[in-house]
């Protein structure tokens, strides 16, 4: 399977990442470039997917970038690992639900490597953790599909600033909070990026 793996160590501007993905989408569709999996971080930014509502912005002073991905409002920032992809579902099964399940399994498998058990929720997209008798989100997923090419991606909270979520209703879910891996279990997550790529590649082949 020919997939380019791209790892960016320094933060990438959100707009630049989207432009890069959209160009890759076009090139992949025209068979001019391979599929892509890209891990990176963004500096502080709030983005809104196609189904967000204005009342989900609690602090009206924050700047929101509207995007064409699915989903609602979320926050990106240092300490959160983003995994973007441009993947051709025509090479696999043309099944968007199955592809989302592959992403969910990849995140769960990656986090399980660190002896943390997480789970998906069919009513609220993302990956969740039972924390002190409440359910909190540890990873967000936002996907768009064009001509059976899936792009955008998902984000895992490792040691990001959770207070940033207080300005929004994250992903439109009012009754559940947000958490990061460091708060769940204070350990070394330096290899998480490597584990994520490994699990993603394995799950894409199954």
- Note the pLDDT of residue 171: 74
Q: pTM here?
A: 0.94
Is 83 an active-site residue?
Answer: no
Q: Please give the pLDDT value at position 1.
A: 54
Q: How many domains, the chain?
A: 1
Active-site annotation holder among 73, 127, 171, 178: 171
Domain that holds residue 195: 3-205
CATH number of domain containing 10: 3.30.930.10
pLDDT by 10s per residue, the chain, length 206? 589 999 999 999 999 999 999 999 999 999 999 999 999 999 999 998 888 899 999 999 999 999 888 778 889 999 999 999 999 999 998 999 999 999 999 999 999 999 999 999 988 889 999 988 889 999 999 899 999 999 999 999 999 999 999 999 887 777 788 999 999 999 999 999 999 999 999 999 88
Residue spans of alpha helices (H) in 57-179: 96-112
What gap in Å lies between CA 204 and CA 200, rounded to an integer? 6
């Amino acid at each position: 399977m020919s997939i380019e793996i791209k790892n960016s160590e320094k933060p990438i501007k959100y707009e630049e990442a989207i432009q890069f993905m959209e160009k890759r989408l076009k090139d992949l569709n025209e068979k001019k470039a391979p599929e892509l999996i890209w891990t990176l971080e963004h500096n502080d930014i709030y983005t809104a997917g196609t189904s967000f509502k204005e009342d989900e912005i609690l602090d009206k002073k924050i700047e929101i970038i509207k995007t064409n991905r699915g989903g609602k409002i979320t926050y990106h920032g240092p300490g959160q690992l983003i995994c973007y992809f441009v993947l051709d579902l025509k090479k696999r099964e043309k099944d968007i639900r199955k592809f989302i399940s592959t992403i969910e399994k990849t995140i769960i498998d990656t986090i399980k490597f660190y002896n943390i058990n997480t789970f998906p929720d069919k009513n609220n997209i993302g990956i969740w953790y039972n924390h002190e008798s409440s359910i909190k989100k540890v990873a967000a997923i936002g996907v768009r599909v064009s001509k059976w090419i899936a792009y955008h991606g998902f984000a895992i909270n490792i040691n990001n600033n959770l207070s940033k979520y207080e300005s929004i209703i994250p992903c439109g879910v009012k009754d559940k909070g947000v958490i990061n891996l460091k708060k769940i279990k204070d350990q070394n997550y330096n290899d998480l990026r490597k584990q994520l790529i490994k699990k993603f590649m394995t799950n894409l082949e199954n």
